[in-house]
Structure 1
Amino acid sequence: MDFAHVELSDEDSAFQTELREFLASIVTDEVIARDRATGENFDEGVHLALAERGYLERDYRPAEDGGFTAVRRRIWELEIGRAHTPWFHWGTTAMVAKSVEQFGSRELVAEVMPGVLAGRLRLCLGYTEPDGGSDVATCKTRAVRDGDGWIINGSKMFTSNAHNAQYVFLITNTDPAAPKHKSLTMFLVPLTSPGVEIQAIRTVDGDRTNITYYSDVRIPDHYRVGDVNGGWSVLREALNAEHGTVERDAEGLQKIATMTEHLLLLADGLDRVAGIVGRPDSTGRRPVDDESVAYRLGRAAARTEAARSTPEKFGRVAIAQALRELTPDLMDILGTAAVLPVGTDGAADAADDGGIEYLFRLASPMGIYGGTLEVFRNMIAQHELGLGRPNYSPIRAS
């Protein structure tokens, strides 16, 4: 039996064609070029168009509540990635919205959810702090009771898409004397609140993220999500979704790991490199005729396929490692012209118009997005292999 393909019904095949054609009409070359220039991984026109067609709500809802079936959800995920749709922040919005629906007040759910599903409201994450790293529980941003509301002071790093969002899912410390996992409270803070400041930060791959400051930000209590000092229970569900460690269904059609969309970029880049080294020069010789080139190209294809087949948190590590280790090798195969960025004179003729150069820069932050690779390796060691907690204390001289 060939397990590589799912036989689509006529209805599902028609849905795939409809979706593919619609994405081709809205994810234009201009959209891709603008996204590359801004580094925002978001396009409001595309986002609103997907919402207007009902795709966002169908992606958000389970099948029994009018959402995609398992097959159509898989088609949706694949076609969104294949079109290189700049929409990564929808996943963040949906993840936060589920926490709001589960833990928020009815007033907050009524305020937020219609706009989320219509594409008008976007939600971002306020977890990491400038001195906190990946340990979000070491939170110093303070929320203090003020009558029927709260006053928030602090700052957050890597608040990606805050400038395109209307709310931030903010982790705060509401009891500094308590143990760190029992001192946290979550809020959904309107980013238009007085005292909120958003400053852009550029990463090495050209993406835009932000640092956000909260100076005497006053919000009503209905923006609290979950119990006071019970934020870790709220946050844990969202972190599991972000890490891709949620329980998988038995149908085998779920996305195999988080950030597989980035691996599609690597696969496309690998195909372009293979096409370039397979072209003969004026003497009829092809670069791929060199055994070392053929070997490295084959190794890159095998590593890419292995990463595409690795599930859950293991796949998260495998994808990032494949990008980090293969992109410099592919640049070396192309030669010095591979360091030219997209749109540079000579890049299109001698290399792949900066495609691999971009992926080389993307590979570094790929080891940080959604949690560092060290965090994922620790999760694998402790929860999958049964090893103890890491000990980072200095080694004592004997």
Structure 2
Amino acid sequence: MDMSFSAEDLVFREEVRAFLDDKLNIRLREGAFATPSVFVEPDITREWQAILNEKGWLATLWPEEDGGPGFTPTQKYIFEKECALAGAPALPVLGLKLVGPVICKFGTPEQKARFLPRILSGEDYWCQGYSEPGAGSDLASLKTRAERQGDKYIVNGSKIWTTHAHHANWIFALVRTNPDAKKQEGISFLLVPMDQPGVSVTPIVTIANDHEVNATFFDNAETSVENLIGDEGQGWTIAKYLLENERGGSCAAPSLLAEIERVEQYAKRQPSGVNGAMDHDVALMQRLARLRLETEAFEVTELRILSELAKGRPAGPQTSLMKLTASNLRQAINTITIDMFGYDGLQLPTSRPLYGNEAPEPVGGREAQLAMPTWLNGRAWTIFGGSDEVQKTIIAKQVLGL
């Protein structure tokens, strides 16, 4: 495997760096930095989305014919790495990286023409309706029902942990269209408008004091049969495709390494209380060095998979390995950060957002103020997109053949 960049890739990297220097303004950098949650607030992410859309560099997981930038897998990696190093905001995952690729692969030409441009422009903001009370890791047990009546479906049931449902005007949902079929065979993939009387959203405030997830209820909600993606009963196949994109559709190592770099810089400035900064604490720096080595090893694995993708091979179950490793590395970074800041790192501000003129005053600096909210919010990394236990089962069965 040749892991060196070509001359063309190096030219592309310089183009990306110049673009970021020009377009990634201070407001966007500060907003991204001061966001402790996984999902960036819409006022920040939509501004960055519009800038990338104008450039044509937005939907990196989409085919070029459907509006993607036409990046090679290597260019996509370079782009994500440079964005991470520059501190760019995360983009709306649910539309651009989840339902968008599904519509590209399984949607009709009419569905593509209707939905894809509005995802790119930000006119439509999406949420995901997968998990339910009693159907999380065992997703095939979902009970939300969609009954066809003429040219529409009537949807009844509920979804939980629907991220940013309070911002969304559309939800993509797994629904049961055939209650008599086997669990997986009776599920369909349906797009449902949120702005209607039959849909209600109840906030769930997490232990991190963030409101990013919700409970969503359907009470005779309606959607057109034209909003069925694929065929009835094909939902489980589509769901697995979407989850592969969620678990491995982005390059995780660049953002992890960029975060480790920031922690190393914090250690040079944070007082240890014993004649020097925290970078004089041998035990802490050994932990940080080990974490960097583990993350660099993870990056090599990610690049190896990237090499396979460049040859046209599908992502497959190794995305579960990437998701499992990246989630645990991220939590380890959060833990070492909060340890380094000591008592200052234990503060948990009660207001959001933590950027802008209304942000609460920090104790010991903004980095310390973000430590606890980030640690608490980050506990979800090993749960969403399939818990660690689910990923280990997939790896055991489909990668190791156990």
TM-score, reference length from structure 2: 0.79
Other-structure match for 1:346: 363
CA contact (8 A) 1:269 1:356 kept: no
Instruction: Give the partner amino acid of 1:32.
Output: A
Report the counterpart of residue 237 of structure 1 in structure 2: 241
- Pairing 1:21–2:21 present: yes
1:371 shift after superposition: 1.2
| Shift in alpha-carbon separation, 1:92–1:368, aligned structure 2, 3 A | farther
1:151 corresponds to which of 125, 144, 154: 154
Give the CA deviation at 1:262: 5.4
Is residue 322 from structure 1 mapped to residue 324 from structure 2 by the alignment? no
Shift of 1:107: 3.2
Whether contact under 8 Å (1:309, 1:315) holds in the other structure is no
User: 1:123-272 to 2 correspondence within 5 Å?
Assistant: 123-205=126-208, 206=210, 208-244=212-248, 256=251, 259-260=252-253, 263-264=256-257, 266-272=259-265
Q: Please give the alpha-carbon distance, in whole angstroms, between the structure 2 residues aligned to 1:268 and 1:187.
A: 42
TM-score norm. by structure 1 comes to 0.80
- Structure 1 135/38 Cα, relative in aligned 2: closer, same or farther at 3 Å? closer
Q: Map Cα deviations across residues 155-180 of structure 1 (whole Å, 9 max, x no partner).
A: 11122132333321111011222110
| Matched residue count | 372
Once the two structures are superposed, what CA deviation does each residue of 1:319-356 show, in whole Å capped at 9, x if it has no partner?
Answer: 222233454344334432222357655322xx943343
Q: Distance in 2 between matches of 1:37 and 1:325?
A: 16
Q: Is the 8 A contact 1:174 1:184 kept in 2?
A: yes
Corresponding residue of 2:122 = 119
Cα contact 2:97–2:246 (8 A) shared by 1: no
Counterpart position of 1:46: 48
> In 2, are the aligned partners of 1:48 and 1:120 still within 8 Å (CA)?
no
Indicate the structure (1 or 2) with the bigger Cα radius of gyration.
Answer: 1
Q: Partner amino acid for 1:238?
A: L
Q: Give the deviation of 1:299 after TM superposition.
A: 2.9
Q: Distance in 2 between matches of 1:386 and 1:57?
A: 34
- Go from structure 1 to structure 2 and tell me whether the alpha carbon gap of 1:167 and 1:384 turns closer, same or farther (over 3 Å shift): same
Greater Cα offset, 148-157 or 113-122: 113-122
Query: What amino acid is aligned across from residue 301 of structure 1 in structure 2?
Result: R
Aligned partner of residue 140 in structure 2, secondary structure: coil
With over 3 angstroms needed to count, the CA separation of the structure-2 counterparts of 1:35 and 1:181, relative to structure 1, is: same
Q: Indicate the RMSD between aligned Cα atoms, in angstroms.
A: 3.3
| TM-superposition CA deviations, 1:143-196 (whole Å, max 9, x none) | 112122110011111221323333211110112221101111111112223311
Q: Which residue of 1 aligns with 2:88?
A: 85
- Give unpaired runs (5+ residues) of structure 1: 247-254, 388-398
What SS does the corresponding residue of 2:178 show, helix, strand or coil?
coil
CA distance in 2, matches of 1:347, 1:108: 51
Is the 1:144–1:150 Cα contact (8 Å) retained in structure 2?
Answer: yes
Distance 1:150 1:261, change over 3 A: farther
Q: Where does residue 335 of structure 1 map in the other structure?
A: 342
**Cα-to-partner distance string for 1:279-323 (whole Å, 9 max, x where unaligned):** 687x85555445434433433333343444444432322222223
2:94–2:128 CA contact under 8 A, matched in 1: no
Greater CA drift, 303-312 or 369-378: 303-312
Distance 1:200 1:333 in 2: 33
| Structure 1 range deviating more: 119-128 or 322-331 | 322-331
Question: Which range is displaced more, 136-145 or 13-22?
Answer: 13-22
User: 1:324 is paired with a residue of what secondary structure?
Assistant: helix
Moved more, 94-103 or 180-189: 94-103
- Give the CA deviation at 1:8: 5.2
- Within the alignment, does 1:303 sit opposite 2:294 as a pair? yes
Secondary structure in structure 2 of the residue aligned to 1:151: strand
State the percentage of identical aligned residues.
25
CA distance in 1, matches of 2:11, 2:63: 20
The 1:118–1:214 alpha-carbon spacing in structure 2 relative to 1, beyond 3 Å, is: same
Tell me which amino acid in the other structure corresponds to 2:383: I
Counterpart contact for 1:310–1:318, Cα < 8 Å: no
C-alpha deviation, 1:15, in angstroms: 1.6
For residue 357 of structure 2, what is the aligned residue in structure 1?
none
Alignment check: 8 A CA contact 2:143 2:175 kept: yes
- Superposed CA offset, 1:79-104 (max 9, x none): 33234433342464343123223333
- Aligned residue for 1:236, secondary structure, equals helix
Change in Cα spacing, 1:336 to 1:100, as seen in structure 2 (3 Å) is: same
Equivalence for 1:75: 78
Residue 374 of structure 1 deviates from its aligned partner by 0.9
Q: 1:141 to 1:287 in 2, by over 3 A?
A: closer
